[in-house]
Amino acid sequence: MQKTSKLYAIVNGKCPHCRRGDIFTGNTYGFNIQRTNTKCGHCNQRFEIEPGYFYAAMYVSYAMNMIEMISMGFVTYYLSGGRLDFDSVWLYVAVIFLTSLLLSPFNYRYSRIILLHLLSPKIKYNAAYDEP
């Protein structure tokens, strides 16, 4: 029996306990709305361990958003030829705002996945459930 890698489970949004079941219904970007499943369909692991558990995902999402905003500020600076005058402020605001808006579904999904996989000491991987 071959174990599913942790990286595969994180990238594909799989359960941290069995690495088989889906954490979300729907796609990140699509017409069907993505929702967090209450339990894993494969191993029956409950994802929201305690009430309000996913509020901690806001901190992860905030860190992801800050990294994206700072990166887009540097990219805009580089691509605009180093313009930092008052007239170019709206260019920076527009680029950073649109990037944050476009990446918000991604941040929603992966902040919860990172919280479950990397920051949850109560959920441990169990290789016995890692079977098709």
pLDDT digits (tens, 9 = 90+) for 44-62: 999 999 899 999 999 999 9
Give the angle subtended at the CA of 49 by the CAs of 67 and 16, to the nearest 5°: 65
pLDDT of 1 strictly over 70: no
pLDDT tier, 77 (very low <50, low <70, confident <90, very high otherwise): very high
pLDDT of 13 strictly over 80: yes
pLDDT at position 26: 86
Q: What are phi and psi of 81, to 5 degrees?
A: 80, 25
pLDDT of 87 strictly over 90: no
Q: What is the arithmetic mean of pLDDT over 21-30?
A: 90
**Both structure tokens of 119:** 């920051």
